[in-house]
Structure 1
């Protein structure tokens, strides 16, 4: 995409989203041995960056398409994002959620008037249920991470971060379905070509790490990670972008994820969810990569089940 096209994406969604704050802690800088800046999308409408992509996608539908509604499948954050975006724009929203999705994210989806259909916690079950709703309602499908309109919208968080005027060496994002990191790549490469984009992923679901090595989209045999937002796989639209632009993907352990999450809660008084903590952990535990550098981390969300904290 041209610079003007990406700027058009930002201008399109700007009235509907927050320009979220960037937080910085000298104490965490000392621990990480770098300058670490957190782009706090946990303060975004819906509690996560995903309203950016959902809004961009819905705004590009025709009036007739909007009248029939939209459908998506999500473990939580995109479910809430689509529900809230659709509510703001007067569009019905049908949401397929796995039975093991966090209660807080289900409650948020209902609060934003999303119509939930539950399914078994597999990608196949999600897709089958979504397809059935499409056939019954004529709703337009919005993919949480593998749709270009969604990818472009998600990248606007990176654009805002770059507007802070900090000469970033790296921007780090968590990697689940690949929409955030792909969008980040497009905006970083266009507006700050010297800034390298690095992904962060749980060791237990390291499909993106393996995909970069093998050159094809890999899957996971298990979804056993506390980072519930990162249990999905890359797609055919975002993977080529990631292959072209991502410098590397760093894997972190479950213990490191929990420790990073607790550190940000305790020291910065900022509530981040485990998926966000994956990116913070990647910086904290890989000082050989980041020492002495200026590093931006996109905190993807803060939707946490307070009755089920890991600490």
Structure 2
């Protein structure tokens, strides 16, 4: 891991090979003003091969795995290795200091970081490789992301399927340093950058894998849904054609992005909407969506037009 200075530098002042790896949402150390994932992190992503469309399929809480990987800034969840692999508890984190892939903390706890750069095109295999390296290392050891791990088990092979993924969203990344983790200058600098860039986020309690966020002066809801994409698009089209795709008065369905094989619809919420204020509208929408998913009649002409509009507002992240 490069240990160059973390001070602000002029754009282009660092050679590509001197730009250290940081968290995807942190400012790129090259000084471009962009986030790392939109700047030098793109180069690491170009290494990916043999894309697995739904790498977290089969894991307990697949939608939350996708959310922690892609949309939640600061969160942890609890998983557990199977007895065959030691039975240790694993803290799954959205991101770890300096974008480490995993760490065996000094208090003996295993941490797995999901928001990393590069990899094989199978996020589950990459994460499993990092977790095994951490489990086999001495306490206090960080595990950096590697390019392309060879054949081996996936998370689905390592984790106990009977342990629910209990997600806890945090207001910052101070959980990094609990348990006596060494406060090195690099870790302190990474913590400062990450806390400065964090977006206020909370998980709804009434529906699964829906996350409220305040970005600037606006509130939004991003909701990872588990349904088959074609069926979900038809259902969203039916609701949109009926004027039922919003989350209550003053909200607006703005589109969806695709991440790890699942669709993540996004809504703008009325200014000042708290996470508590989003709970009831989200629960009501869930009911309308389930009813629309159960319909099997061909789409009407109006619904087909609505579907075209819904599809046109999609973006694929991974």
* Alignment TM-score, normalising by the size of structure 1: 0.30
| Structure (1 or 2) with the greater helix fraction | 1
Q: Which has the higher contact order (CA 8 A, sep 6+)?
A: 1
